A and B are shown apart, each in its own frame.
Chain A
Amino acid sequence: MTAAKGALRSLLRESDLPRRRVALSILTGSAALGSAVGLSAIAAWLIARAAGMPSPADLALAAVVVRFFGIGRGLFRYLERLVSHDTALRGVVALRARVYERLADARVDAVLGLRRGDVLARIGGDVDAVGDAVVRAVIPLGVAVVVSGIAVGISGFLDPAAGVVLAAAILVAGIGAALLTWRSARIAAVAGVAADARVAEAALSGLDGAAEHRVWGTAAAAHDALAEANAASERAQEAAARPASLAAAVQQLAAGAALIGSLAIAVTSANAGDYGATTAAMISLLPLAAFEAVNAVPAATQQLFRSQQAARRIVAMAAAESPASSPSPAPAPSPAGGRYTAEGAPAGAPRGRFPVTGPALELDRLSAAWPGMAPTHPATAAVPGGGVLAIVGRSGVGKTTLLLTLAGVLPPAAGEVRIGGTPTRRDLMGPTIGMTAEDAHLFGTTVLENLRVARGDVTEEDARETIALVGLDAWVAGLPDGLDTVLGSGGNTVSGGERRRLLLARALLTPQPVVLIDEPAEHLDAAGRDALDAVLGRLRDEGRTVVIVTHHLHLTALADAVVSLDD
């Protein structure tokens, strides 16, 4: 709980919320709801005074003030909403950039999970939820405190006893509702999230597996599984709704008690001659308007809870690499050919840089593993600079893990990898080593910009040449705007085979002297395999050192060395 609270606070601090803007939002919000309280009090005074049948001139000022409050409410509310939303949006923008930066430096296993759609949607939703804490929690709570203070102040000034009654009722309504709502939100978070996951699983199984259910005759079972998950979810919601309903009832009760108490005190005191009719009327009618601000507490509490959970997830996901596990930057290994720099190619490096000779690569009884997983069979192999190393093995044997270890992302479970004679390090990824994962991302931008992900200075000419090499020239020619067609929208979808070939083209355009390619042959048709051969041939001509993970033995003919992870 404290961790969650701390997470929200630190995220809000990082998003550089301007305190003065938040204060201004609370001020205008309080002016808006305060107008309603003022309207109620002055209108009560006006009616009470008028009942004494004074000269109409005695009412003139009160009449003006009543109208002012009538206008003030709408006006201040508008200002408050503008200021508070602008504040929150500035915060969200800063927060989003900050989350991106945190993620860019986050532990690699966290980053690798980012490609999953559900994770992504959650980050987007979570960032917005943290931003909502300002508009929907901090400001309404601030306004509730200020306006309740004003109402209690007026009432207490007129009659301290009435002030005490109103204050007690508002405290019960505010704190009681907040506690009950918090409880409800916690029940929903614990039981509800698990129930929702079950519902989503059952629903997706019913949808994605519909054809299978028809063939295997399991449609009724799928329907029942969903009905059961639905029922469990309803039970979880019911449990959460109980304290929430109680919170609403408590607020109603507190408002009613304040009304009864104030009326009793005012009428009794007025009858005893302690004060006049106008005071009695104001005290009696004030509770009717005083609870509007405090009635916003349940929604604000719920938002606060939601924002805290979101903040905690963001902080956990973006947990920065602990300095201990990150090897300190050291000079890059001295290259075999001596013709590339530690920084690899600077972004502006001309394509004519190649051929160079990439560094030699040695695996010395290397065994790789994710923390807590079984390590791979020890592998020993060496390729000279500019060579091609193929990694083969059974499904799930850890080929991709080994690749990540080569790249220095994971520390070796045992043994050693040497690149250009020195052990591989995490900071080589990027400057020296470029990796194309099996599920590398195609961005929702143009074909050309997607190729420029490899290198910022890819020219149209470079792009066309590479596109032709992977056999996509006809496909690009068929796109409405050629290389400038935005992918992934308006029907410009990319098939699995086209995607693989685009990624191969991108891998070829990378500037790094060491190129790692993961499982490029999966789901590739004959044309795709030709493209792969062409790319491997070109990489070899350029003198780069290549590591390729594959199931397909025909590729191993192109390799200078083969590592098998099978026993």
Chain B
Amino acid sequence: MRPLDPRLVGRIGPARRYIVTTALLGLATAVAILFQALLIARALAPVLAPAPLEEDGLGWLGTLVPEDARELDTALAWLAVVVAIRVLLTWTQERLAHRAGARVISELRSQVVDHAAALGPRWAASGEGTAVATTVTRGLDSLLPYFVRYLPQLLLSATVTPLMIVVVLGLDWISAAIVIGTLPLVPIFMILIGYTTRDRSARHLEAMQRLASRTLDLIAGLPTLRALGREHGPAARVRELGDAQRRATMGSLRVAFLSGMVLELLTTLAVALVAVTLGFRLVDGAVSIETALAVLVLAPEVYLPLRMVGTHFHASADGMAAADAAFEVLETPVASPGGSAPAPNLAGATLVVEDLAVATPDGRRLAPGRLSMMARPGTVTALVGPNGDGKSTALAALMGLLTPDSGYVAALTPEGRTDAQDVIASDWSQQFAWAPQRPDLGPEGRTLSLGQRQRVALDRALSAGRPVIVLDEPTSHLDRASRDEVIARIGAAAATGATVIVATHEADLIAAADTTVHVAALEVAR
């Protein structure tokens, strides 16, 4: 588990700037904490000392906070300044963190959406393609707690902790030895515990997710159960699943919390040990009272960022998982269809498909499997065949939206034959007017019913004036009157010279077509 994804630093500008600024603010915070500790030591030491203090008990660090801070008024004035600075630093850090988190999420979201769009319909139909919607809507949100809570503490543990160790070393080497001795134990123990329990935790996590999704599945099926009068049985099942889930979760938590306990135990015990040894050495006069006080105040600060990193560990895991999902998309290479030649004008051109085959995402079938067809201008060509055998995919290949696994799409013009794969993809695609099965009409389209959306998309395709009109199941969700009207308009469009290609099950539309092409899938031989 990496705490920080280098790709975030490398590729996302706002993330890089934020990390640098936060590190600087962290250093400033460390210096303020140091001054606070030294000032407390100066102010309190004269009260505790049995005799008036003669020497400077802080060694070379005493130059930072002069001896006049032993005067209460001076110390309080200094402390007020330090507190004001710390308040300002905290406020700035919080503001920057929220802003940077929001910026990084926006930036990643835009990049992922653009890249996913460029990856094309075949990738979109694969498992990764369907997961990307979750990533860009809710998934990336977990980066906000990562940036606001986790990352600052991570950077503090890289700045405050080492600085404090140097300071403690300068004050009292025995205390520093205790700190330096225990500090590496923290990550070592955490890694050890994490390593031995990882498999178990992963198994539990998986079981938990499965149980949770089964409960939701039951709720999703509630309308169906209710329609069949079977809704009351599963409440007991929900309880059962939940209890199983609780046991699985507690099993993993008992182990997962162990690392937290070790962390707390080591850090607090180390502070206690520092205090006790300081006490016994004070009795011998082996250490000055000012040093003892400063070290006592500073010792917990060494561990604080590490403890906070542990506390916000889940924010790190979620944030990194979200970043991972985003970068996985961004790192998928784009195999853009098409070439660099200018596309021919498709008005009046005959479209030819030869031996076209596209593998399904699971690779088990070719859908379509070796399709050959011809679509002439001024005619209606109907693609028919069972659901899932590749009619929509054939249309996408025809429009140059995807590169087929074999076969090709070409245009026959008076100038000759041009292969779709050799021309600039957008020049080719944008000569088609397309009404897909589930048209996306932007935000305003989401308030329309399926039938209404279908009508709007058909209107757009039939009135765009583009040379080739491609309609995918144009009559589904329409009633008989609208269906007849659409069929008439399709015929009219062909009569004006457009090349019309439809995928359909509708008998009346098939009857109205000039040519009917059967699309069938092929099983891939294993």
Partners in one complex: yes
Stretch at the interface among B156-164, B190-198, B472-480: B472-480
B443 near A201 with CB under 8 A, answer: yes
A63 near B117 with CB under 8 A, answer: no
Query: What are the interface flags for B369-395 relative to A under an 8 Å C-beta threshold, 1 for contact and 0 otherwise?
Result: 000000000000000011110000000
* Cβ-based interface call for A414 (8 A): no
A454 near B228 with CB under 8 A, answer: yes
* Cβ-based interface call for B214 (8 A): yes
**Distance between Cα atoms of A270 and B48 in the complex (Å):** 9
**Distance between Cα atoms of A52 and B292 in the complex (Å):** 13
Of residues 136 through 195 on chain A, the ones whose CB sits less than 8 Å from some CB of chain B are none
- With beta carbons under 8 angstroms apart, the residue of A43, A89, A121, A248 that contacts B296 is A43
Of residues 191 through 250 on chain A, the ones whose CB sits less than 8 Å from some CB of chain B are 198-217, 219, 222-223, 225-227, 230-231, 233-234, 237-238, 240-242, 244-246, 248-249
B386 near A527 with CB under 8 A, answer: yes
**Distance between Cα atoms of A253 and B279 in the complex (Å):** 31
Stretch at the interface among B20-28, B93-101, B408-416, B489-497: B93-101
B50 near A53 with CB under 8 A, answer: yes
Given A59-B280, A71-B268, 18 additional A-B pairs, CB 8 A:
A47-B296, A63-B276, A77-B264, A97-B235, A104-B232, A199-B137, A206-B113, A216-B430, A222-B117, A268-B72, A395-B477, A396-B452, A429-B226, A430-B229, A440-B227, A444-B214, A496-B387, A523-B505
A344 near B137 with CB under 8 A, answer: no
Set of chain A residues within 8 Å of B249, measured between Cβ atoms:
85, 89
Set of chain A residues within 8 Å of B463, measured between Cβ atoms:
none
B426 near A214 with CB under 8 A, answer: yes
* Cβ-based interface call for B59 (8 A): no
A212 near B265 with CB under 8 A, answer: no
A551 near B268 with CB under 8 A, answer: no
- If A51-B282, A395-B479 touch, whether A46 touches B276 (CB-CB below 8 Å) is yes
B250 near A86 with CB under 8 A, answer: yes
B residues engaging A (CB < 8 A)? 36, 40, 43-44, 47-50, 72, 75-76, 79-80, 82-84, 86-88, 90-91, 94-95, 98-99, 101-103, 106, 109-110, 113-114, 116-118, 120-121, 124, 132-133, 136-137, 144, 212-236, 238-239, 242-243, 245-246, 249-250, 253-254, 257-258, 260-266, 268-273, 275-276, 278-280, 282-283, 285, 289, 292-293, 296-297, 300, 362, 385-388, 396, 399, 401, 425-426, 429-430, 432-434, 436, 438-440, 442-443, 446, 449-452, 473, 476-482, 505
- With beta carbons under 8 angstroms apart, the residue of B95, B239, B300, B477 that contacts A241 is B95
B218 → chain A closest CB, angstroms = 7
User: Residue on A with the closest CB to B337?
Assistant: A214
B448 → chain A closest CB, angstroms = 10
B452 → chain A closest CB, angstroms = 7
**Distance between Cα atoms of A233 and B108 in the complex (Å):** 14
**Distance between Cα atoms of A512 and B111 in the complex (Å):** 54
Set of chain A residues within 8 Å of B449, measured between Cβ atoms:
395-396
* Cβ-based interface call for A350 (8 A): no
Query: What are the interface flags for A423-459 relative to B under an 8 Å C-beta threshold, 1 for contact and 0 otherwise?
Result: 0000001110011110011011000000001101000
A241 near B362 with CB under 8 A, answer: no
B112 → chain A closest CB, angstroms = 9
- If A78-B260, A93-B239, A203-B137 touch, whether A47 touches B293 (CB-CB below 8 Å) is yes
Set of chain B residues within 8 Å of A397, measured between Cβ atoms:
479
- With beta carbons under 8 angstroms apart, the residue of B91, B225, B439 that contacts A212 is B439
Stretch at the interface among A280-288, A327-335, A351-359, A537-545: A280-288
User: Residue on B with the closest CB to A257?
Assistant: B83
A51 near B238 with CB under 8 A, answer: no
Set of chain A residues within 8 Å of B266, measured between Cβ atoms:
74
**Distance between Cα atoms of A510 and B222 in the complex (Å):** 16
Interface centre among A217, A260, A271 (most CB of B within 10 A): A260
* Cβ-based interface call for A315 (8 A): no
B222 near A103 with CB under 8 A, answer: yes
B254 near A82 with CB under 8 A, answer: yes
A249 near B79 with CB under 8 A, answer: no
A435 near B228 with CB under 8 A, answer: yes
A83 → chain B closest CB, angstroms = 11
- With beta carbons under 8 angstroms apart, the residue of B44, B212, B223, B442 that contacts A263 is B44
Majority-rule SS of B interface residues: helix
A548 → chain B closest CB, angstroms = 15
- With beta carbons under 8 angstroms apart, the residue of A53, A431, A522 that contacts B476 is A522
A74 near B264 with CB under 8 A, answer: yes
* Cβ-based interface call for A342 (8 A): no
- If A207-B117, A215-B429, A430-B228 touch, whether A260 touches B221 (CB-CB below 8 Å) is no
Stretch at the interface among A20-28, A112-120, A362-370, A380-388: A112-120
Set of chain B residues within 8 Å of A100, measured between Cβ atoms:
215, 218-219, 222, 234-235, 238
A70 near B271 with CB under 8 A, answer: yes
A71 near B265 with CB under 8 A, answer: yes
User: Residue on A with the closest CB to B45?
Assistant: A51
A394 near B481 with CB under 8 A, answer: yes
- With beta carbons under 8 angstroms apart, the residue of B48, B226, B260, B482 that contacts A108 is B226
**Distance between Cα atoms of A208 and B125 in the complex (Å):** 10
User: Residue on B with the closest CB to A264?
Assistant: B76
* Cβ-based interface call for A524 (8 A): yes
A215 near B399 with CB under 8 A, answer: yes
**Distance between Cα atoms of A119 and B225 in the complex (Å):** 18
A216 → chain B closest CB, angstroms = 7
Set of chain B residues within 8 Å of A440, measured between Cβ atoms:
223-224, 227
B110 near A214 with CB under 8 A, answer: no
* Cβ-based interface call for A312 (8 A): no
A61 → chain B closest CB, angstroms = 12
**Distance between Cα atoms of A553 and B506 in the complex (Å):** 12
What are 9 of the A-B contact pairs (CB < 8 Å)? A32-B264, A47-B293, A53-B282, A66-B272, A206-B116, A211-B396, A213-B117, A256-B79, A263-B76
